Amino acid sequence: MRDTSPDWNNLKLAHENARKQTRVELNWENYEQYWTGRIHDDEDLKARRAELIPLYNFEYDPVKASARVEAGIYRHEAHNWCFQQNAPIYDVKPQLPSVTCPTLVTVGRHDWVTQVSSSETIASLIPKSKLVRRSPQFEEAELFQQTMRDFLAEALPDLEVKR
């Protein structure tokens, strides 16, 4: 599980984090549109993502961030459904203790949306889980990949995993 929350409570703190940050001036109307699922079309979703992406990296590189925005897949209908329909009722905490497979839970140390505490909750509720705090996706990509390989090699010793 990567950078996820067991329920929707993390958004309150995410909003506080967005208001406190000084990296970029946010258009708060656009911000609200994004987080409440009121995106007009795929281009609107891409534009809102481009506005928020500076918040997602500890060390912001505008060229790399722009490339990630361009490489993204945008489906505003799915985005809107998620925030309008799923978000208000999202809570998987009751189901997590029934997960029986080894589970790697990773979270970025500086994630502004999904705080470390969200992943700590998940890891505490899944019996065979391991929590790793990193900046997994981009800033420590090689370390993240190695962490995944090590976890798979330990969890599935009979599987050939390239290290």
Same domain for 18 and 81? Answer: yes
Last residue of one domain, picked from the residues 89, 116, 141: 89
Does pLDDT of 109 surpass 60? yes
Positive or negative, the Cα torsion across 59, 54, 120, 138?
negative
Same domain for 121 and 61? Answer: no
Same domain for 29 and 56? Answer: yes
Domain that holds residue 146: 96-155
Give the percent of the chain with pLDDT over 90. Answer: 55
Quick check: is 19 in a domain? yes
Domain count, the chain: 2
Last residue of one domain, picked from the residues 69, 89, 109: 89
**Residues of the chain by 3-state class (helix, strand, coil), percent to 5:** 55, 10, 40
pLDDT at 108: 81
Does pLDDT of 136 surpass 60? no
Same domain for 84 and 18? Answer: yes
**pLDDT tens digits for range 67-96:** 999 999 999 999 999 999 999 999 999 999
91/9 Cα distance (integer angstroms)? 9
Assign 141 a pLDDT band (cuts: 50, 70, 90): confident
Quick check: is 162 in a domain? no
pLDDT at 44: 98
**pLDDT tens digits for range 51-70:** 998 888 777 888 988 999 99
120/80 Cα distance (integer angstroms)? 28
Average pLDDT, the chain: 89
pLDDT at 135: 63
Same domain for 78 and 53? Answer: yes
Q: How many helices (H) and strands (E) does the chain have?
A: 7, 2
Same domain for 18 and 38? Answer: yes
The residue among 112 and 16 whose pLDDT is bigger is 16
pLDDT at 118: 92
In eight-state DSSP terms, residue 91 is B
Quick check: is 123 in a domain? yes
pLDDT at 102: 94
